[in-house]
Amino acid sequence: MTFAFVCVDKGSARAEIFELLISLGIPFIDVGMGLNRKEGPLAGTLRATYYPPDKAAQVRDMQLAELADHPDDEYRAQVQISELNAMNAFLAVMRYKQLRGFYLDKQAPFHMLFDTAEIKLFRQEGP
């Protein structure tokens, strides 16, 4: 395997997968979401994070992805999850295709957040 996409709903499983991929030097993109109903309707943030092989441990240590399980997660109780999963997949595939040269990559974000309430995409360059 030369590249991986990580999309799991348990932080503990994500932590184990991260450790394996990092130890093998395999680059990967992890996606996740944080959802809430604080204002009634569902809101939250979708995340796509790139872990390059030479900086994957550093990115993991930034704690951008949940590596523990949360029993009260809105993810398991919502019918809207299908389109949110599709959006997360879109973000991951677009970033992958930028990395592979299919799409122009002017800003090289390693971390992207999509706010579902404001329909905004935030990105972080570096690490």
- Residue 60: which CATH number? 3.40.50.720
Distance CA 52, CA 3 (A): 10
Residue 3's closest CA among 93, 125, 87?
93
Q: Which domain holds residue 92?
A: 4-125
Domain count, the chain: 1
Are 38 and 76 within 8 A, CB to CB? Answer: no
SS3 10: coil
Q: In sequence order, what DSSP letters do the residues of 48-77 get, joined into one string?
A: EEEE-TTTHHHHHHTT-S--S--TT-GGGG
> Per-residue pLDDT for the chain (127 aa), expressed as one digit of tens each?
899 999 988 889 999 999 999 999 999 999 998 888 888 888 889 999 999 999 999 999 998 888 877 666 555 565 567 889 999 999 999 999 999 999 999 888 899 999 999 999 999 987 7
- The alpha carbon of 82 is separated from its chain's Cα centroid by a whole number of angstroms, namely 16
Question: Which pLDDT score, from 0 to 100, does residue 127 have?
Answer: 76
Cα angle, residue 52 at apex, residues 119 and 12 outer, rounded to 5°: 75
Give the model's pLDDT for residue 87: 94
pTM summary value: 0.88
